Amino acid sequence: MPMRWSVPVHEAAVQQLASALRDPDRAGAVVLGPDGVGKSTLALTAVEDFSDAHPDAVIRWVTGTSAERVVPFGAFSDLLEVAEIGKPAALLRAARSSLAVGPGDLLVVDDAQHLDQLSATLVYQLARAGQTRMIITVGAGATSDELAALWTDDLLVRIDLTGDDAAASDGRDVDTFLAELPAGARTVLNYLSIQEPLALADLQALSSAEAVDEATSAGAVEVHLRGRDADHPMVFTAHPSFAARAHAALGTEGARRLRTELVARLAARCRDHPSDRLRLASLALDSATPQSTAEIVTAASEALRLSDVLLAERLARAAVADPAAPLAARLLLAHAMGWQGRGRDAADVLAAVDPGTLSEPELMAWAIPLAANQFWMLGEPERATAFLRTTRSRLTEPAAAATIDALSATFAMNAGAPQRALQIATEVLSSPAAGDMAVAWAASAAALCSARMGRFADVAAFAERADAAEHPGLLRFTVGLGRTTTLLMAGDLDGAEQMARRYTDFAELQQPGRAIGEVLLAQVLIARGGPDDLAAATALLRPASTTLDRTGYSWGPLSLMLLATALSGQGELTQAAKVLSRAASRHGTKSALFAPELGLARAWRLAAARDGHGAVSAARQAAGMAERSGQNAVALRAWHDAVRLGDLRAADPLARLSAETDCVVGRLAAEHGRALTAGEGAALRAVAAELSAIGLVSAAVDAEAQASRPRADNLRP
């Protein structure tokens, strides 16, 4: 385990850390502070004490480095057995299983700010599980959402060390130390400035055994065991600043020369682990011996499937620089840009392709991301739909046609035509030629359309088909919205909340996935409607809406609509008006499916402003929009909101819709409307009790209040 160079010891923090490791309600602690302040020394002290107290415990020590940040699972590569590339969620499950730490064991992650996305996600999941004791140190620099969530989600105790506690070594001290190193030791440090850590055997072959001994004796580097194999020593720098200062002194050509030597050494080794393959591909890019275009494309594909969009972009961009690069290179580059919300850049990459030169499979592979980018990222849904129609007319192969049709179904759904979308999706799903991508698009659209149309019995089967397909991760949230909608309308609010939390449980931490998951949860909390629920929904939706506003997805306008509703329920009139204005400006064809939600947000904003007549009118309009588009379940909810606002004319449409759409909430909404129209206080109280029993808190409060007022006064003031 590494011992850092010339750092202070913090006695109070030692006690805090020891206490955190004993805390039954936390998984351990996260130690934050600038480089050189003593975080690693503190962790090592705690590890020694823990080991004395728990001699049978397994202790794993992982160190993040800037070099390993560029590859998925980089810091964990020697501890994990992840040879196959698959969905990130499946990879994370495999990683957790292969890490071999369990109850009573200890995992230390040093310099976690250098972890890649998947490694940081793995750390979060382990902390959330709460079985393994953990010590995480986080240094200076940008902190990812995954790491920040360790303390904001109250999983680990936060311990802050500041530079004021004791003076950390400054750059001049480091430079003086490096200048006095023997030549061999400095050579070792130079290699580590290119790639850290390095296996002891590799470093000895690149320099010499004597040089490594010199560097170790001088305190420049440390050799310690890592991984499952006790004969697997790795070499690290002994101070956070050593690698950075040494690299700066190398210059561009010096760094390129050493990188080329490293590539030659590492390329000769078997590379079963994806991290090893991607590390080599990344190093080779800036060396004098780059990999072949085919190898770079393969690596870019691996990086993208591991959700590392930055590395995928870097690799794919290098591949595209080859005039003979295959279409796959350009598609990978466009996907990587699109997933970062850079729709215009992705469009430029795809526009360079001549579709007249493409085979049918290539045409489909090119047309899908181009149309999706047009629809969502560029905000050109009509153009995207027309483009798909034109492309579809050129296809004769059933599999390609099915995939185009499946995306058309998704477009139709988002454009507010769920009946048409369901028809297309059902045809795709009945086609034996439909591949995984076609099934994923079609089944996810069918699940959500069925739920919003009130065809609840069909939702589960469509959702299962979508989940079983290999597909882009964000489609899972379309399925999730279908499932939570179904549970809400069934009156199972606890089930709906549990389902929504599954989608916010950091199965994939990468944005915008977490933000979309938080929209699902906020929707359930708003349906509950209690003061604490609305406050929690607002806390989720403020950052989520900011994240989603940059993506172009229809989740962005929906998040703003829900945020406006939650703010109105809390009486935040000014903020609600601002958010509602943003929601209306972002809303368009690509989010037309959620037009009723925009109308209901207006209704509750007017109600909060004590405009009862305006609120009822807005709710009626929302219900009408939902009915005209065939969204019976949404129409039921909208008419019920109208009843809660005092609408005496909502009973008839509620009775009609509840007869057509069998669900608990529909039945209660119809009873609520009938009781309000008849002015029956006892019936309103009975409805209030039933609404409260299933968790619709705010609706129950409204019904109870209406029971206490004369019929003529039931329009909300």
pLDDT digits (tens, 9 = 90+) for 500-526: 988 876 444 566 778 899 999 999 999
Provide the 10 A C-beta neighbour count for residue 455.
18
Domain assignment present for 327: no
Band of residue 75 on the pLDDT scale cut at 50, 70, 90:
confident
pLDDT of 69? 61
Domain assignment present for 688: yes
Answer whether residue 297 shows pLDDT above 90. yes
Whether 156 and 176 share a structural domain: no
Instruction: Say how far residue 341 (Cα) sits from the centre of its chain.
Output: 14
Return d(Cα 304, Cα 339) in angstroms, integer.
10
pLDDT digits (tens, 9 = 90+) for 455-477: 999 999 999 999 888 655 678 89
pLDDT of 716? 55
pLDDT digits (tens, 9 = 90+) for 611-656: 999 999 999 999 999 999 999 999 999 999 999 999 999 999 999 9
Domain assignment present for 320: no
Whether 75 and 138 share a structural domain: yes
pLDDT of 492? 97
**pTM score of the predicted model:** 0.77
635, β-bridge pairs: none
Domain assignment present for 558: yes
- Work out how many domains the chain is built from and give that number: 5
Whether 138 and 194 share a structural domain: no
Return d(Cα 204, Cα 384) in angstroms, integer.
57
pLDDT of 130? 86
Whether 148 and 189 share a structural domain: no
Question: Which domain CATH number covers 100?
Answer: 3.40.50.300
Whether 427 and 529 share a structural domain: no
pLDDT of 309? 82
Question: Which domain CATH number covers 371?
Answer: 1.25.40
Domain containing residue 587? 504-609
- Average pLDDT on 393-408 reads 92
Whether 225 and 259 share a structural domain: yes
pLDDT of 101? 77
Whether 17 and 149 share a structural domain: yes
| Helix (H) / strand (E) containing 156 | none
Which of 511, 439, 512, 430 is CA-nearest to residue 479? 439
Contacts of 199 (CB under 8 A, 6+ apart): 232, 233, 234, 235
Domain assignment present for 108: yes
Answer whether residue 168 shows pLDDT above 50. no
Whether 644 and 582 share a structural domain: no
Answer whether residue 63 shows pLDDT above 90. no
108, β-bridge pairs: 61, 135
Which of 507, 447, 440 is CA-nearest to residue 480? 447
CA geometry: angle 326, 330, 332, nearest 5 deg: 110
Which of 125, 160, 195 delimits the end of a domain?
Answer: 160
Whether 364 and 471 share a structural domain: yes
Domain assignment present for 132: yes
Whether 365 and 462 share a structural domain: yes
Maximum distance among all alpha carbons in the chain? Answer: 95
Question: Which domain CATH number covers 201?
Answer: 1.10.10
Domain assignment present for 215: yes
Which of 577, 609, 641 delimits the end of a domain?
Answer: 609
More confident site: 640 or 43: 640
Band of residue 714 on the pLDDT scale cut at 50, 70, 90:
low
Contacts of 64 (CB under 8 A, 6+ apart): 74, 75, 109, 110, 111, 112, 113, 114, 115, 119
Rg (CA), the chain: 29
Whether 525 and 591 share a structural domain: yes
The region of weakest confidence among 143-152, 173-182, 633-642 is: 143-152
Whether 142 and 21 share a structural domain: yes
CA geometry: angle 581, 585, 586, nearest 5 deg: 120
